[in-house]
Amino acid sequence: MSDDKQQQDLATQIKTFHKSGEFDKALEISERALKSNPVDLEAYDARWRLIAKVFSEDEAKKRIFPEIETLLRTQPETPEVLYTAHWGYKTLPGRAENVPSSLFDKMLQYPKTKVYLTALLGLAQRSEGTDQEWRYYQRLVNECTVLDGPSTWYMMAYEKMLRLVEKNRSLADDDYIDELIDGLLNAHLYYCRETQQWYGWAYTDAVKHRIKLNNRLDKALETLERAEIRLEEKEEQEWLIENNKGTVEFGYKKISRLRAEVYYHQERWSEAYDGLNAYAPDFLESLSTRFSSESTINYFYMLGRSAEGIGDWEKAKYYYTDAHFALTPHSDAQAGLKRVYQQIERTNPTTTFEAFLKDTEAAYKTREEADREHIRRKLLSNRLNEKAADFRLQTLEGEIYSLSAMAGKVVLLDVGASWCGPCNMAIPHLKIVYKHFSENDDVVVWGINDGETPQQVRKSLDKHQPPWPVLLDPHREVAKAYKVRAIPKFIFIDKNGYWQYSFGSSNIINGQPLIWMIEALLSD
């Protein structure tokens, strides 16, 4: 162990070795937590998180649960001990279900504290019904404040209550919903101030809830005005650019879009259409936003309905068509097209609705191809042209793979992990890409497992059965070399060993964006 690591506290040593993939060393050091005097709760927490990652669920339970019970039996029942024990149980699948009711009861003996707030959240998460869940969240917002624990938890209680109301409006009347949205806004503004985030995030989130619940839309417009006023301040603009990596234009655009949606729900059709139409071109950013995003399809429907509201039947037809012939059609779009048809039929009574639909679908297909080509060209124009960092990694079976040995081939690296839901969602689409190039010896596809144990990798491989090699990267060498900040990340290296593209989305419709990039590199 280095002198620096010797000088670190026990919890930091465990976390450092854990993060670097030196799991055996981390486990060995973590044994000291069991003998620490006075008790080192942070080291216990680091140890249990490590065990949960390294061992199977059953083996981890056999190790962690007895240690928690020993800790509770041998130490005074302070809020800190109860809090640590609670998170020990929650390191494993099942989360709040693992926590004994007796432990929650003890945590509730410390009102208006972090441990109390944590207990209410845990009890809400394991509630058997909506009414019980609602009551726990209600207790949290009534009995605690944003200062009693992490502000994100306090915000979450409001968010959860509003989502429950979306499913069951009988839980709250309009006045109480109004109070909940105001409570969420205030908590979110506190969080933005605390973490130096864009305040507009809080304002726009509150407005989205008002739109979803059709609650006090006049207040939604007032909230957006506040957001715009705040956005004019230098500090807000700096936070938006530096912390959210956005732009001031992005801020104004988001506010304007939401204002148009409010107008839509108020049936102010002309204002709604103008506002929505101004930002429709933004949906040509990617295949997923243009063709499969539910929010995009709904946006097109709103545009169609707004155009219908002002009597512009051609525009109504245009946007209803986009909403109806999407991969997942909007449920009301065909009815909108029927109304358009009935208007047009007056001047052409020999056309049937079926023939009308066929014509609109043909126009849509032409427009779809043009939009796909626009997206393809934009995607391929963003080349990095950086020398690719070499690496040498092995599979579970011990086979060694190095990037430098792939000279003359196009290499696609899929950086991901088994715990990452979006990574797993992308696998079926990546299989399409793999099959597409399966007979081309100049294309190589490798999975790069980002920092997990061999046991975790084996479990994932057994479940998903990827046909490409998956390389173990316990020290996250590839992620560091290729600046991976979020997964999944697809990295493309050309035949000359240059890193040309990165693609950071799991929403790869039939693998098409990846196919486009590989084809571009093959044609060089």
Between 205 and 284, residue with greater pLDDT:
205
Which distant-in-sequence residues (6+ apart) come within 8 Å of 314 by Cβ?
none
* 504 within some domain: yes
Rounded CA separation 318/301 (Å)? 10
**Number of domains composing the chain:** 3
pLDDT tens figures, 383-420: 999 999 999 999 999 999 999 999 999 999 999 999 88
Do the Cβ atoms of 88 and 67 come closer than 8 Å? yes
Q: Per the domain annotation, does 411 fall within a domain?
A: yes
pLDDT (tens digit per residue) in 151-200: 999 999 999 999 999 999 999 999 999 999 999 999 999 999 998 888 99
Q: What phi, psi does 502 have (nearest 5°)?
A: -130, 140
Q: What is the mean pLDDT of residues 6-24?
A: 81
Kindly state whether residue 266 falls inside one of the protein's structural domains: no
Residue 41: pLDDT over 70: yes
Q: Are residues 499 and 417 in the same domain?
A: yes
Judge if 6 and 103 occupy the same domain: yes
Q: What is the pLDDT of residue 348?
A: 65
> Do 40 and 12 fall into the same domain?
yes
Same domain, 369 and 485: no
Provide the pLDDT confidence category of residue 2 given band limits of 50, 70 and 90. very low
Is there a contact between 211 and 261 (Cβ–Cβ < 8 Å)? yes
The reported pLDDT for the residue numbered 55 is 87
Q: What is the DSSP string of 373-441?
A: HHHHHHHHT----EEPPP-EEE-TT--EEEGGGGTTSEEEEEEE-TT-HHHHHHHHHHHHHHHHTTT-T
Total number of residues shown for the chain: 524
In a domain, residue 277? The reply is no
- In a shared domain, residues 365 and 485: no
Same domain as 316, residue 427: no
Q: Averaged over 11-21, what is the pLDDT?
A: 87
- Residue-averaged pLDDT of the chain: 92
Which residue, 104, 74, 76, is CA-closest to 89?
Answer: 104
Question: Does 65 map to a domain?
Answer: yes
Q: What's the whole-number mean pLDDT along residues 299-305?
A: 96
Enclosing domain of residue 311 = 283-380
Q: Looking at the domain assignment, is residue 202 inside a domain?
A: no
Write the DSSP symbol of residue 509.
G
Q: Return the pLDDT at 3.
A: 38
What is the structure's pLDDT at 62? 94
Banded model confidence at residue 4, pLDDT cuts 50, 70, 90: very low
- Residue 447 and residue 364 share a domain: no
Of 107, 124, 141, the residue that ends a domain is: 107
What pTM value is reported for the model?
A: 0.84
Given 72, 107, 142, which residue is the final one in a domain? 107
pLDDT, one tens digit per residue, over 242-274 is 765 567 888 899 999 999 999 999 999 999 999
Output b/e per residue, 436-446; b: 16+ Cβ within 10 A: bbeeeeebbbb
Average pLDDT over residues 93-115: 94
Triad 408, 443, 420: Cα angle to 5°: 125
Mean pLDDT to the nearest integer, 142-157: 92
Query: Token match 């739109």: residue?
Result: 211
Q: What is the pLDDT of residue 1?
A: 36
Given a cut of 50, whether residue 287 has pLDDT beyond it is yes
DSSP line for 237-251: HHHHHHTS---HHHH
Say if residue 349 is in the same domain as residue 476: no
Exposed/middle/buried for residue 326 (C-beta within 10 Å: 0-12, 13-18, 19+): buried
Specify if 398 maps to a domain.
yes
Which CATH number goes with the domain that contains 423?
Answer: 3.40.30.10
Same domain? 340 vs 440: no
pLDDT in tens, 325-372: 988 899 999 999 999 999 987 766 777 899 999 999 999 999 999 999
The C-alpha angle 178, 179, 184, rounded to 5 degrees, equals 100
What is the rounded distance in angstroms from the CA atom of residue 337 to the CA atom of residue 196? 46
Phi, psi of 75 (to 5 degrees): -115, 150
Nearest to 445 by CA among 478, 468, 417, 424: 468
Q: So what's the pLDDT on residue 8?
A: 61
Instruction: Specify if 115 maps to a domain.
Output: no
* Residue that terminates a domain, selected from 107, 139, 171: 107
Instruction: Report pLDDT for 361.
Output: 95
**3-state SS, residue 444:** strand
CB count in 10 Å sphere of residue 290:
22
pLDDT at 344: 83
The one-letter amino acid at 192:
C
Least confident of 8-12, 32-36, 206-210: 8-12
Residues 503 and 404 in one domain: yes
Tell me: do 287 and 408 sit in the same domain: no
Q: What is the pLDDT of residue 24?
A: 87
Helix (H, G, I), strand (E, B) or coil at 254: helix
- Judge if 458 and 371 occupy the same domain: no
The answer on pLDDT for 5 being more than 50 is no
Measure the CA–CA gap between 297 and 359, rounded to whole angstroms.
20
